[in-house]
Amino acid sequence: MSARDAWRAPVAIASVAAAGIGASVVVGAATGMPGSELASILRLLVPAALASLLAAIVVARPLARLSLRQRFVAVAVVGVAVALANVGLLASSMFVSDHDAALLAVLLVAAAGVGAAAALVVAGASGEAIRRLASTARRLGDGELDARTGRLDAGPELDTLGGALDEMADRLQDAQRRERDAERMRRDLITTVSHDLRTPLASLRAMTEAIDDGVVDDEPTLSRYRTEMRRSVRQLADMVDDLFELTQLDAGAIEAETERARVRDVAERALAAVTGSATAKGLSIEADLGDAGDVACSPRLARVLQNLLINAVRHTPADGSVRLVADVTSDRLRLAVIDTGEGIGADDLAHVFDPFFRADPARSGPGAGLGLALAKRIVEALGGAIVAESAPGAGARFAIELPVR
């Protein structure tokens, strides 16, 4: 106990004693008590108040070492003892008769019993609540983040403390869950990127070694090797770009951006990125923007549409089609990429926006499974939502809804 805490009880008692003496003077004057009797009573009250203050100073530290139940009982007993001492002084000074003093003493002793019983009940409830709080705190310290105090019913102060402890436990549990998710994502990142980097790097190494060792020297083979090497380098560059943007993406920074573009412009940029591969596969690509073409939007929407279109072209067989459609209302902009591809199974549909997820367990196809995750992060950072709808063999539809600013 600090010196400041040790003085709190004596100061409080002195304040109450002074208030009691003042109230006695006021009551005596109001009831017409003779001045001599009032002065005699005050001569008794002042020493009694000083004695109470001295006793409080002496017992302040010992009381601090007692349990809550013992302190409550001590307060009840001390209060009645002080009252009995005052009755004895009044009787000895002939202010009350011996009969009245005895009657008051009996009543005070009975009050002491009632007070002690009430103190035990109150202290028992409070003590149990404190034990529950301590037990919960120890369990939390031992790593049991599901420990909770629950409802205490021990008064507003302890209930508030218990609620604060449970709220802290909830936040710790959420933080631990986020940390575990981040650790799992980190492991997935290392595993996935290591696997996806190995394939193009192995291809590049094999082709460069073949060229350096003179294994191939005819122009057709060299031309094919150059094409494959460019494809591998492009695949590596796309993967690095996706990783960098995914890790650097900040919702607050996106919301603070002031640069704007038209939906028609961002759509044209996204379509230009997939036109070559779509033509090579014999796919038809259509765009129907309607009145939404002139709506202002974030330039980052081009990256979202590009990722969705790349995904649609990749999973749509030859002679299929991919459509980009849009419409606008007074406050919402809606876009959708629709394909006639192979579709997505129900189990995979729930995970298409997870980072590094790919429906191909062997991960033999191109891409690192970051495109759709990046698209979702950008859309949500812009205050919108993106959903996927599909069924095996029935194509897929990726729909975006954004607020119009």
Please give the average pLDDT of every successive group of 10 residues along the chain, which has 405 residues: 49 51 51 57 63 64 66 68 65 62 68 66 70 84 83 77 87 87 74 71 86 83 86 79 68 65 91 87 89 87 89 87 91 91 81 68 52 84 88 86 86
Domain 254-403 bears CATH identifier 3.30.565.10: yes
The confidence score (pLDDT) of residue 1 equals 46
Reported pTM: 0.50
User: 3-class DSSP state for residue 358?
Assistant: coil
Q: Are 373 and 354 in contact (CB under 8 A)?
A: yes
Domain ranges of the chain: 3-162, 192-248, 254-403
Could you give the angle at the alpha carbon of 99 between the alpha carbons of 115 and 83, nearest 5°? Answer: 30
Q: How far apart (Å, rounded) are the C-alpha atoms in residues 145 and 165?
A: 11
Q: Are 356 and 364 in contact (CB under 8 A)?
A: no
The tokens for 168 are: 């802290």
CA distances from 284 to 154, 290, 326, 392 (A): 72, 19, 18, 21
Q: How many residues does the chain have?
A: 405
Could you give the angle at the alpha carbon of 270 between the alpha carbons of 264 and 273, nearest 5°? Answer: 140
Long-range contacts at 188-194 (CB < 8 A, ≥ 24 apart): 188/355, 188/356, 189/243, 189/355, 189/356, 192/356, 192/363, 192/368, 192/369, 193/239, 193/243, 193/368
